[in-house]
Amino acid sequence: MASPKGAVITVVGSGLIGRSWAMVFLSGGYKVKLYDSQPGQASKAITEIRTQVLELQEAQMLRGKLSASEQLALLSSHDDLSQALEGAFFVQECVYEDLETKQAVFQAVERHVGEGVVLSSSTSCLMPSSVFSLVQNRTRCLVAHPVNPPYYVRLVELVPHPETLHVVMDTARDLMTEVGQAPVCLRKEIDGFALNRVQYAIIAECWRLVKDDIISVKDIDLVMSEGLGMRYAFIGPIETMHLNAPEGLEDYLTRYRFGMSRVLSSFGPVPEFDGEAAARISKEICELIPGDQEHLSARRERRDQLLMELAKLKK
């Protein structure tokens, strides 16, 4: 990939995720043009990014080789879409999670960019084939799904539209790697992508175990945070199997596959996540962490602080 010097990325939508993407791209030395359809919103976002970037520098957690002021000098805000898209080679969309809004945004974006420009969506739950259905040239479109907060949690899922060119996936993967994210490529689209499919499988079984009164909310969360999560911050489930038998994965399967299948066949149906169980589980978590803003914010701050420490450790 060409050196980022002078290369422009346009971020469309300057909410939580748009601001995070902007900071990630700035850290890689890219010029970032931030656009929002709500007048004044993009310039407000810049003020917020400035504060955060300076705080990160203070905490010695600023990413990239450039100083805070060098990074901030690469950032501009725009209330006019065509101006925001001028010169961009990559567009990252971060507007509301609403299909029609996203479709309209990409239709408008396409009118203002040249043919080589890559169009990327941050959608968490929509399929690329739906998001890009109104785009003329869908070969240049993909989803780049970040994890919140992207500055500390580096995974990005790259998901192609059925027509997306390999070279477009490669461009996105190289860009994400270059700015310090950890991209993974899905070979085709699937509902929930990879991360949420795995996450929902975990949520479902945790929910069933609490609902069926096998374990408390507090203890099932400890199963993850003190057990599986300790490993999963560094090695995935397949490597875990590979390391957990003396001769590696095949040995693991010989020893454990019948047990795994037996346990898996005892899983219950997909939970409804409502009714008496939802009320009871909500009550139980609120006894541990009251659901008011003060307690929730404190726990979010603790989460982000710990994620920051973990990100340091992973480096």
Ligand X SMILES: NC(=O)c1ccc[n+]([C@@H]2O[C@H](COP(=O)([O-])OP(=O)(O)OC[C@H]3O[C@@H](n4cnc5c(N)ncnc54)[C@H](O)[C@@H]3O)[C@@H](O)[C@H]2O)c1
C-alpha dihedral, 184 to 190 to 191 to 192, nearest 10°: -20
Contact indicator for 105, 95 with CB cutoff of 8 Å: yes
Binds ligand NAG by CB under 6 A, chosen from 134, 147, 165, 281: 165
Binds ligand NAG by CB under 6 A, chosen from 2, 3, 5, 115: 115
Q: Which of 165, 146, 149, 169 is nearest to 157 (CA)?
A: 146
Residue 146 touches which of ligand NAG, ligand X, none (Cβ within 5-8 Å per kind) = ligand X
Q: How far is CA 13 from the centre of its chain?
A: 16
Binds ligand NAG by CB under 6 A, chosen from 3, 60, 100, 116: 116
Burial pattern 235-244, b for ≥16 Cβ within 10 A else e, equals eeeeeebbee
Give the residue with the Cβ less far from ligand X, 17 or 74: 17
Q: What mask of x and - would describe binding to ligand NAG in positions 10 to 29, judged by CB under 6 A?
A: --------------------
User: Of 59-67, 80-88, 135-143, 183-191, which segment contacts ligand NAG by CB under 6 A?
Assistant: 135-143
Residue 115 touches which of ligand X, ligand NAG, none (Cβ within 5-8 Å per kind) = ligand NAG
End-to-end, the C-alpha distance of the chain in Å comes to 24
Q: Which residue is nearest to ligand X (CB)?
A: 15
Cα separation of 260 and 89, whole Å?
Answer: 47
Q: List residues binding ligand X (CB under 6 A).
A: 12-18, 36-38, 41, 94-97, 101, 105, 122-124, 145-146, 148
Give the residue with the Cβ less far from ligand X, 100 or 276: 100
Residue 140 touches which of ligand NAG, ligand X, none (Cβ within 5-8 Å per kind) = ligand NAG
Cα separation of 95 and 102, whole Å?
Answer: 7
Q: Copy the structure tokens of residue 34.
A: 């931030």
2 is a site residue for ligand NAG (CB under 6 A): no
Q: Is the dihedral of CA 241, 304, 150, 270 positive or negative?
A: positive
Give the residue with the Cβ less far from ligand X, 149 or 180: 149
Binds ligand NAG by CB under 6 A, chosen from 107, 137, 196, 240: 137
Strand blocks (E) in the chain? 8-12, 31-35, 75-78, 88-93, 118-121, 141-146, 155-160, 182-185
Cα separation of 77 and 155, whole Å?
Answer: 26
39 is a site residue for ligand NAG (CB under 6 A): no
Q: What mask of x and - would describe binding to ligand NAG in positions 168 to 187, judged by CB under 6 A?
A: x-------------------
Cα separation of 98 and 96, whole Å?
Answer: 5
User: Of 14-22, 38-46, 103-111, 136-144, which segment contacts ligand NAG by CB under 6 A?
Assistant: 136-144
* Sheet containing 88-93: order of strands: 75-78, 31-35, 8-12, 88-93, 118-121, 141-146, 155-160, 182-185
Give the residue with the Cβ less far from ligand NAG, 169 or 217: 169
User: Contact residues for ligand NAG (CB under 6 A)?
Assistant: 115-116, 137, 139-140, 165, 168
